[in-house]
Structure formats: C-alpha cells, structure tokens
Amino acid sequence: MSRHPFLALVLLIASGMLAASCTEDPLYPARSITVNGADMPSLVGDAVYELWLSYPPERAVRKEPVIDHDEPLYFSAGRFIVSDGAIRAVGGGPADFAIPTGYNPSLVFEAIVSVEPLVDDDTVPDAPMLWGRFTGTASRAHALLEAATVRTFDTAAMLARNGSFVLEAPTSEDAADSLSGIWFLSKVRSPGGDPMSPGVDMPALPLNHDNDNWIYEAWLTQRDGAGSVSYVSLGRFRNPANADLTGPGPAAGPNRTAAHGFPGEDFVAPRRVLTDSAYGVVVSLQPESIAVAAPVLRLLERPIIGDSVVSGRRVNMTATAKLPLVEVTIDR
C-alpha cells in the first residue's frame, strides 16, 4: 500500500479528470433536422439556397458558452438547390440539414432561407428570402418560413401586389411595331397631355432596410412547342415610377429618346410581336448582387399576353397565386 494514501487519491482523481477532459464527445452533438418546401423556384445560374438558424437575440448578445466569441447571430444549417420542385443537395441527391456541433437545439429561435452565390464562404446571409419563428414543445419545434414577413419584405406590400402594362413601341414610328414593345404603365399619355402613371403598384426599394440586397426585374416569358419556358429580361429597377437600368433595350427602334420613363422595352430590331400566344410576362424580386437568369420571387404575372390585346390599352397582371414556403422541424 502507498505510504501516502491521500496523494494517491489525488492522483487518481486528477487522472480521471484528465481522461474526462480529453473526451471528444461534444457538449451538443450535431443534430439532423427535417426541411420541406413548397412552390420554391429553381435558381438558374451560380446561386444556391441556404438555411440559417439563430438563437434569441439576448442569448446571442450575451454570448452563451456554446457560442464562440466570433460567431454571428445566424449559423448555417445547410445549402440546397431546388430541382423539379424538390429540395436537393447542391451536388445532387437528398439534401442534408443539421444543427451544427456545439449548438443547443433547445435555444434555436428563428430560421431564414437566403439566396447565396454558389462559391461563397461568408458566414452572413446574403439575400434573405423566407423567415419564420419556431413554436412547439420542449421535444419538437416547427417553423413555417414565408416571404411576406417583417424580417424579409414589407408584409402589406407583398400582400397587396398589383400591376399592369401596355403594348406599344415608342421608339419606332412604324405602325407595324405597335405590338412590339411592352411598358409597365397603368395609364398611357392622353391626347390632352395627362401624365402617365406606373403600372407596377409596389413601393420603391428597399421594402425592408435590413434586407436591401433585392431589386425588381421584369421578364418576358416564351414557351416553345414542347412546353418549355425561356426568359428574356426586360430590365431591373428599384423604383416602378422610373426607367429601368437598361432603358428601352438593345432591340429598340431608332428614336430611343422617345422611350417612356418607366420600366419596359421595345423589340423592334429584330421585331417580336408580343401578342403571339407564346409570350407571357412576370415581375419578380431578384438578389441584386447575384446573377439568376430566371424569376426568383415572383410578384406579378400574366401567363399569356394573348392575341386580343390592343396597342396602347392597359392590360392587368395578377399577383402570383402562391409564394414559396419552407417548413423546418427540430426534434429537440
């Protein structure tokens, strides 16, 4: 027996503590979560979606022990794409979402889905599109993430979407071009000189000053005989009452200075007759700093312009029937 039993006991306890401190078991192991989506658009281009989770603000500010000193308010739970309406992993196959190692699932408070560049190591959401708050029990929580929320876009504006356009080609004096231009107006210039008014009844951007990486974009849609759809951008704009960033467009007629001071485009050279049953119209919100070559968050649309439309006459668009949704479930 040891001549120093107390010392032996101390060494035994110390060795046990050392073994315990060297364990690789984290305080909170990674935990899988369930994610489902509805009406989520595919992102055409070098862009992906990312799911982010957060603690309550007061926890993040106080820096609870499970949050490192340099950790942002939101932390990523996985990136994904949408293919044929289904949520998929960026490289293909089933998507995998998880609360990362070290995060307490009982503290997860909110979630957002953002649009991100495909190549991106930023730890801050780039363009938040959907937001929701978790509710439920101590063992299971759900969050329904939506676009029309106080954390993403102006709720009232998103729910009151309204718009119209007219077909005319102000940059051409040829009557044959009268159906070859589209301008987002609700009131055309009258013979008495009454002013025109914007056709997209949405506020100037940003709709939310805390989420300002978004811009309006109008699109001409074209369906081929097989039913597939291609998109032609009609220009990006921040204010529906001003001209868009591309003016009357590269196919405008010779009198470009006659273009309306509103979003729109002429298709004179070469000519497109927009009453062809193949054409439709969409107005969307797009991430401003990320190139996505198709509508992301659709606001207004007219699936087919139609051959009954008369040049210079207002044509109404309708609010998109369904905005995208994502549901997140956590087993705590």
Domain boundaries, the chain: 26-154+325-331, 156-319
| Residue position matching structure tokens 């293919």 | 83
Q: What is the pLDDT of residue 59?
A: 58
The answer to whether the beta carbons of residues 54 and 75 sit under 8 Å apart is yes
**Model confidence over 238-270: pLDDT tens digits?**
999 999 999 999 999 999 999 999 999 999 999
What is the distance between the alpha carbons of residues 4 and 100, in angstroms, rounded to a whole number? 47
Q: How confident is the model at residue 141 (pLDDT cuts 50, 70, 90)?
A: very high
Q: Looking at residues 196-219, what average pLDDT do you find?
A: 96
Q: How confident is the model at residue 27 (pLDDT cuts 50, 70, 90)?
A: confident
**CA-closest candidate to residue 197, choices 314, 299, 286:** 314
Q: Quick one: what percent of the chain has pLDDT higher than 90?
A: 77
The answer to whether the beta carbons of residues 40 and 326 sit under 8 Å apart is yes
Q: What is the pLDDT of residue 56?
A: 76
What is the value of pTM for the model shown?
0.86
